[in-house]
Chains A and B, each alone.
Chain A
Amino acid sequence: MIYYTIKRLGLALLVALTVSFISFGLLYLSSDPAIAMAGETASDADIEAIRKLYGFDRPILVQYFDWLQRAMGGDLGKSYYFRTDVSSLIGERLPTTMTLGVCAITFAIVLSVPLGVAAAIRPNSLVDRVALFLSVMGQALPSFWFALMLIVFLSVNLRLLPTSGSDTWLHFVMPTVVLGYYAAPAIMRLTRTGMLEVLSTDYIRTARAKGLRPWVVLFKHALRNAIIPVVSLAAVQFGFMLGGSIVVETIFALHGAGFLAWESITRNDLPTVQGLILVFSLFYIVLTFFADLLNAWLDPRIRIN
């Protein structure tokens, strides 16, 4: 287990390093930050001065290592637009996005796992068909449009929920649903497949044969084994959700990291965009790292490989 952990940690670090390099290079190669900072009316001399001042005239690798070294110390540079530290800017906004992400993944799991179990108990039954129908529909629903429709119906027509902001828990209801529903179909299908597989094994038959109550067999014996792959999928989906929060937060004016991303992208605020890509990527890397460790701990076969 220790060997596996070290190996997996090494991979995570290598991935993090590569991601940091790509996100750095991507944004620096595709535009000249000095021009973006100086504005459209600046003269060539102004641009040159800014280039010197911020060190944009150095080779990209030098700039990268400089940035990386500071990033490891928690310094992601200064925002061009907000004129403050990028790290404290992101740190301020992250709790809102985290709250939203945790709510959304919880919503997705609470919705999809029971549905997947119910569908697996009776394959091809009405419940199974309804679950499949919902998952096919859910996968085709564009989240930004779903969000607007919810606003029109729930906020404007029925006056049930506030449309934007983050003051009370009521403000989080619609964003949670919009961010969460998209992950539900995948989790539902995986739960269903896993349960179908486990329910046909011999130990389930044994458990039933020795007269255990059906719900004990279902939840204590079957679900516990079927849920293992669902855990890693949920971790992956949670990581994707943080990246997807940009659309949801923009629509509901929820001032989290996703909203910050949209603000800084539209304002050409490169250091903030870079910092956000790095933070979101790191989150995904850490999440999948722990999910893999959890899997290896639950299933010794993974460790050997």
Chain B
Amino acid sequence: MASSDSQPNDATSVYGLMKKRVRGHQGMIIGSLIVLSVLLIALLAPLIAPHDPYQQDLLKRLIPPVWDSRGSWEHILGTDHLGRDYLSRLIYGARISLLIGIGAALISGIIGTIMGVMAGYFGGRVDMIVTFMITVRLSMPVVLVALAVVAIVGGSLQVVITVLGLLLWDRFAVVMRSSTLQIRSMDYVAAARAVGCSTSRVLVTEVMPNVVNNLIVIATIEIAHAIILEAALSFLGLGVQPPLPSWGLMVSEGKDMMLFEAWLITIPGVALFLLVLAINLMGDGVRDITAPENRN
């Protein structure tokens, strides 16, 4: 990691250099700020939300947001077709998106990392089998398989997380495999083995710390990927089920009225776009800061 900086004096230590790169990286700062605020909003949803996101009021249906002349400050982002406060649903929706993104990435990350590190470290037959499994996985259409399984098992938060987690491990496996392949031939791995470290110890203390940066970058990509897929599944009616306030479901529910009340689909869509954009910017930032040579 330190090989990329050529001046060995204290002012340009690895962490000093990284700090400098973080400060100079606008995308990373903006992305992290947005992700952090969404995370806070999700955690503090019951405190922030002005209304109950499930409370229906049929007399107050389809009130437009406050910037519309018909809007009011009571419902800043208006109400949906059942009279539920849109801002509160949006705030609770952040919980669902983050839960699914992080949950699915966690499952797929564990599967993919184990497979990739094993393939890269042991090579030979293990590598052949893992590479074959990656090829098989890539050949199967993700959206179609996810939709079919969710339709059969029944849509719920847990099912969507599990299905996406079991489908999105391919990128983890590919990247972990190639990073481990590089690390395996390093002198310090040979040294650790020479002094008699067990295989598991070499993997945990020598290999893992050196692939963890790549792992973080892939994790951000897959969190974003899972969030978009969940929204698409829920939009098609085969993901998270009503009355849960998933952003994809909100777009789907507003779709029938989008020609008259375009804000119904604009607001959850913009939220989705901003969150995914912010996560991607953060991932790009981590990559640029920890491994600037991979920028292109």
Contacts and interface: CB of A to CB of B under 8 A. Distances in A.
Interface residues of A, number: 51
Contact of A273 (B148, B236, B281): B148
B76 to A, nearest CB: 21
B162 to A, nearest CB: 12
Contacts of A14: 132
Interface of B is mostly: helix
Given A15-B135, A140-B224, A193-B296, A277 B141 contact: yes
A49 interface: no
Interface string B135-165: 1101111111101110111000000000000
A1 interface: no
Contacts of A143: 232
Interface in B242-296: 248, 251, 255, 258-259, 262, 265-266, 269, 272-274, 276-277, 280-281, 284, 296
A83 B163 CA distance: 30
A106 interface: no
Contacts of B281: 136
Interface stretch (A64-72, A217-225, A278-286, A293-301): A278-286
Contacts of A141: 273
Interface string A136-170: 11011111110011011000100000000000000
A18 B251 CA distance: 37
B71 interface: no
Contact of A19 (B136, B144, B147, B235): B136
Contacts of B153: 30-31
Contacts of B231: 142, 144-145
B296 to A, nearest CB: 5
B143 A281 contact: no
A151 to B, nearest CB: 8
A117 interface: no
Interface residues of B, number: 44
Most buried by B among A26, A137, A142, A277: A142
Contact of B139 (A31, A145, A281): A281
A140 B280 contact: yes
Contacts of A250: 236
A196 to B, nearest CB: 6
Given A19-B136, A22-B136, A23-B145, 8 more contacts: A15-B135, A15-B136, A148-B269, A242-B141, A246-B141, A262-B147, A265-B238, A277-B144
User: 4 smallest A-B Cβ distances: which pairs?
Assistant: A243-B141, A140-B277, A145-B269, A140-B276
Interface of B: 27, 132, 135-136, 138-145, 147-149, 151-153, 224, 228, 231-232, 235-238, 248, 251, 255, 258-259, 262, 265-266, 269, 272-274, 276-277, 280-281, 284, 296
27 contacts: A11-B132, A15-B135, A15-B136, A16-B139, A18-B136, A19-B136, A136-B281, A140-B224, A142-B269, A142-B272, A144-B236, A145-B251, A148-B258, A148-B269, A149-B265, A151-B258, A152-B262, A152-B265, A193-B296, A240-B141, A242-B141, A243-B142, A262-B147, A265-B151, A266-B151, A266-B238, A281-B140
